[in-house]
Structure 1
Amino acid sequence: MRENGQRIAGADPRLRRGVEGWLDFSRSVMDVQQPSWEAHLRDGRGGKDLVLPLYRARLLRVDGVLHLAGRESLGRQTQKAKSRPAPQSWLVALDPLDALRLIDKVYVGSATGFTAEDDDEPEPEWPMG
């Protein structure tokens, strides 16, 4: 429900396209210090990832839909490349309509702090004094 770490508004059509696959939610082998979990959406049991996996994933339940929140690694996926972790979340549902009902409740305000209504204010007189 994010792109490049930024939340996507519920009205955005990109959230209306679901991805079907096998959810693999398991203990991470990357973190030996403290236990953490990772989530993969695969094309089948033990198959290839359909979307970037979530690391340090947490599992929540909202209105009968599973909500997975974690971090995905953005950037080139090679051994030498440096990637950056970005927040990401998934909604997992057996019936896509259940997830769409929850998506309709998602509201994201303006990221800049300005709204479209700010354009209606008159410009200040210059020079200001």
Structure 2
Amino acid sequence: MRSNGHRLAGLDLSQQVPTHGWLEFKRSPIDSYGPRMEAHLLDQRGGKDLILPLHYARLARVDGVMHLTGHERVGRTNTKASTRRVAQSWLCALNPADALPLLARVRVIKATGFGPDGDHDDEDPFAPLDDQ
């Protein structure tokens, strides 16, 4: 799980402070390259985003807690700048205690070899490069 494109620090995800808001899960505008869904966590119904929205969002129900997966767009959001897509996952529950059994099963894998808090694990090669 990440925040603004950076991996959340620490292995115990249950110690993270939850964000409370209005969840909006809707179809993306039709003019944006085909049908897909997006998720927004708003400060109130019809309000402003509290955190970066999820694009290409998918919804699955896991242990009574909604699990949303998708991509955040990280970087400058003006017209000429290109953003970086970062995989993201949300757990949504009416009571944060409902998500604790699921969070206890999440394991952060050390893909970079430097530690569980390393960024950009998905961009690292799966094996050392050969200089031949």
What SS does structure 1 have at the residue aligned with 2:51? coil
- Using the aligned pairs only, state the percent identity: 51
* Cα RMSD, aligned residues only: 2.3
Q: Which residue of 2 aligns with 1:69?
A: 69
TM-score by length of 1: 0.77
The structural deviation recorded for 1:68 is: 0.3
Moved over 4 A (4+): 5-10, 30-33
Aligned equivalents of 2:27 and 2:87: distance in 1? Answer: 19
- Unmatched tracts of structure 2, length 5 or more: 116-132
Q: Which amino acid aligns with 1:62?
A: V
TM-score by length of 2: 0.75
Q: Which residue of 2 aligns with 1:96?
A: 96
The structural deviation recorded for 1:76 is: 1.3
Q: Which amino acid aligns with 2:37?
A: W
In the TM superposition, what whole-angstrom CA distance separates every residue of 1:31-90 from its partner, at most 9, and x where no partner exists? Answer: 654311000000001100000000010001111100000001000122222111111010
**Counterparts of 1:1-129 in structure 2 under 5 Å?**
1-3=1-3, 4=5, 6=7, 10-12=11-13, 16-29=16-29, 32-113=32-113
Aligned equivalents of 2:107 and 2:97: distance in 1? Answer: 18
Whether the 8 Å CA contact 1:38–1:57 is kept in 2: the answer is: yes
The structural deviation recorded for 1:113 is: 4.0
- Unmatched tracts of structure 1, length 5 or more: 116-129
The structural deviation recorded for 1:112 is: 1.9
Q: Rate the CA distance shift 1:71–1:10 in 2: closer, same or farther, 3 A.
A: same
